[in-house]
Copies of this chain bind each other. A is one copy, B any other.
Amino acid sequence: MSRRTYAIGIDFGTESGRALLVDCTDGAELGTQVYRYRNGVLDERLPAPHEDVVLAHSWALQDPEDYVRTVQETVPALLAETGVDPADVIGLGIDFTACTMLPTLADGTPLCLVEDLRHEPHAWVKLWKHHAAQPEADRVNAVAAERGEAWLPRYGGRISSEWFFPKALQILDEAPHVYARAGRLLEAADWVVWQLTGVETRNSCTAGYKAMWSKSEGFPVSAYFAALDPRFEDVVDEKMVRDVVPVGGRAGGLSEQAAAWTGLAPGTPVAVANVDAHVSAPAVGVTEPGAMVAIMGTSICHILLGDSLVNVDGMCGVVEDGVVPGLFGYEAGQSAVGDIFAWFVEHAVPPAVHDAARGRGVSVHEVLAAEAAALWPGESGLLALDWWNGNRSVLVDADLRGLLVGMTLATRPAEIYRALIEATAFGTRVIVDAFEAAGVPVKRIVACGGLPERNKLLMQIYADVTGRELAVAASMQAPALGAAMFGAVAAGAAGGGYDSIVDASRHMTRPSTEAYAPDPLRHAAYEPLYREYVRLHDLFGRGGDDVMRRLGEIQHDALA
């Protein structure tokens, strides 16, 4: 390529949106702009003027206008910051949390922007971590199991309450009048691309991973939806689109309106929408079978590439062409990781540690990590189950809850901190072990996300627990980089980009410069602790002891 070209990726996260401008030649990251969502995560009440509408436990909503504001705020600032000529920006891609979905009118207007529906919680965007559709998920699973639906094993035998149809069904169950007003039910990712291009598309990644669609079979049959609820029979034809577009394609060109929002040229190629985790794989060079990317932040998402279709117990899903064309993309995940450490620091760490952090000018995490690093595996006598936000993978049960065992009067905060890190590392190992046991090899792991950079102790513990080297991605903003790569692919080689995501990845991924190797002694020392973890995992997670579910029921009754 003689002419310098650029692509922009926009990563829509949980609390904010991030736009990144990269050089298509070598992936150099020239500028970043972040917009913190004005209304953030709505998990207690609706925004003004409807702040009197209180949300029930485990709800999590968002405001779609925050997505538009992200585009409006970040892209012009990015162009200004980098001085790049909009004419040289050849493509735009986006990635999103998922399943984050919303109901709209047939023209794409979100129902929460329709005046008489603004006070209806079900009219708003349901964020990925909205867990209130568990009864619906239970029904989705029970009916699928009863009918022997062939797609069920592809999702590890259980559908999560986070996914598309449980969320859609919850709207129907609890607010049929809102459901009736919805001309469309769609992923927020596809909605944003619709706003950018004026063209409605449905991307294969969210459809495949979150809405039980497959390339060969399409969506589940209407009889299945009818068995969930007669009114749900035609949900796909009434409120969705059967034409699902593969990722790596072009959704359309930037509309005049979106060009005005961004300062980019009208017609700039826009990629089909994608998911934050999945788009990270090519961004860190994970494009061949046996390679896994672990996106480590508030939660962890694992994307593993394989060359055949295998049903792995409890996986989130496997989708052909879902990540890289020609391969099967396996997804697994841990629903709370960084979230647990943040919870611990905010709600369970005493003033002495906060004071020490202030005194040394470091974070509370750093004080705890420094002390925890001096401990040998098992020295604290503590063990935790990392289910503060349920278990998204292997057990796929949002009703599971956290557990900590082994406390004595001598237990100290740094010991608990380390036990929590270890628990999440054990959770990762359970996932890796499950893949390998099912015959899907895990040959190498690349970590990206916020945690690898921020917490070296955590990375070393993960290496020691799994007994595998963890390479750290060179990019600190892999999802946005991956989205930009897809933007370059939307342009195509003729347009100054690339013709395939593998090509784009080869050129635009910089090599990893940091890796954590397992320490053989510590790996061996973790074996007995890991056995205890697995036993408790199975005891509490597979029905041997149902205390967590019963505590949830007792809590539910107490709150009623």
**Residues of A at under 8 Å CB distance from B?**
57, 336, 339-340, 343, 346-351, 354, 376-383, 388-389, 401-413, 416, 525, 528-529, 532, 535-536, 539-540, 545, 547-548, 550-552, 554-555, 557-559
Contact sample, A vs B, 14 pairs, CB 8 Å cutoff? A57-B410, A348-B349, A349-B350, A350-B354, A376-B558, A377-B558, A378-B557, A381-B555, A401-B406, A402-B411, A406-B548, A406-B555, A528-B550, A532-B554
- Knowing A378-B558, A389-B409, A405-B402, say if A383 contacts B347 (CB, 8 Å): no
Chain B residue contacts of A348, Cβ below 8 A: 348-350, 413, 416
Taken together, the copies of this chain in the complex come to 2
**Across the two chains, which residue of chain B brings its CB closest to A298?**
B409
* Bound Cα distance A554, B406 (Å): 11
Chain B residue contacts of A343, Cβ below 8 A: 409, 411
A556: shortest Cβ distance to chain B, in Å? Answer: 9
Pick the contact of A378: B381, B406, B555 (CB < 8 A): B555
Having A401-B406, A402-B407, A539-B545, one finds 15 other A-B pairs with CB under 8 Å, namely A57-B410, A347-B412, A348-B349, A376-B559, A381-B401, A381-B554, A383-B547, A388-B411, A401-B408, A403-B403, A404-B404, A404-B407, A405-B547, A405-B551, A406-B548
A9: shortest Cβ distance to chain B, in Å? Answer: 29
Q: Is the CB of B555 within 8 A of A535?
A: no
A402: shortest Cβ distance to chain B, in Å? Answer: 3
Pick the contact of A532: B376, B388, B404, B550 (CB < 8 A): B550
Pick the contact of A405: B349, B383, B401 (CB < 8 A): B401
- Knowing A349-B350, A401-B381, A408-B401, say if A554 contacts B529 (CB, 8 Å): yes
Pairs A-B, 9 closest by C-beta atoms: A402-B407, A381-B555, A378-B554, A379-B558, A378-B558, A403-B405, A351-B351, A406-B551, A376-B558
- Knowing A350-B347, A411-B343, say if A528 contacts B554 (CB, 8 Å): yes
Pick the contact of A354: B351, B409, B557 (CB < 8 A): B351
